[in-house]
């Protein structure tokens, strides 16, 4: 089932998510719905907080469904290593229509549970490392806009407030 994606300003997006205590049918349904929602958006990643579930779960597929092995599901993820730096423009399904250049690691290793509950460790470089950091930020209540400073952040936040007041957000 495709779930609605929350937008910047919704409280769930701005708070840290809770750990998943057990692999339940509800968690399995959430993961399936998140995968469907991510591909339908279309996007390369989606955190549970973006669909209103305050749980530490994210899905990523930088191939956007073209590589059957490309889908990564992480439950209760944590960083093992991060190094290097990349500066690229990125956007977010919860901040539609806005992009900005954000500092991200060039390489990231994460560990968590897969959708079967088995422990899994994955290393990502480039776009995959960027996606890992982006989704981990969501689980900590941070959006890419929150990583911006100065006029760029102010412009985006002001435009979002204007769109919201007009009922277009």
Decide: 46 and 135 in contact? Cβ < 8 Å: yes
Please count the CA atoms within 13 angstroms of the CA of 28 that sit on its side-chain side: 5
Please count the CA atoms within 13 angstroms of the CA of 78 that sit on its side-chain side: 6
User: CA–CA distance from 100 to each of 97, 125, 156 (Å)?
Assistant: 11, 20, 9
> Given 78, 88, 119, 135, which residue is catalytic?
135
Look up 119 and say whether it is catalytic.
no
Decide: 68 and 99 in contact? Cβ < 8 Å: no
Residues with a known catalytic role: 135
């Amino acid at each position: 089932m495709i779930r609605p994606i929350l937008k910047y300003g919704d409280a769930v997006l701005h708070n840290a998510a809770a750990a998943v205590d057990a692999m339940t049918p509800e968690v399995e349904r959430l993961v399936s719905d998140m995968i469907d929602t991510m591909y339908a958006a279309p996007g390369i990643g989606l955190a549970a907080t973006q669909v209103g579930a305050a749980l530490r779960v994210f899905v990523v597929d930088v191939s956007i469904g073209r590589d059957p092995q490309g889908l990564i599901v992480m439950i209760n993820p944590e960083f093992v290593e991060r190094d290097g730096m990349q500066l690229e423009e990125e956007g977010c399904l919860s901040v539609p229509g806005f992009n900005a250049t954000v500092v991200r690691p060039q390489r990231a290793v994460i560990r968590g549970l897969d959708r079967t509950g088995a422990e899994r460790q994955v290393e990502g470089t480039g776009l995959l490392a960027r996606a890992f950091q982006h989704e981990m930020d969501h689980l900590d209540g941070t959006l890419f806009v929150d990583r911006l400073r100065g006029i760029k952040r102010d412009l985006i936040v002001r435009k979002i407030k204007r769109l919201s007041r007009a009922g277009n957000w």
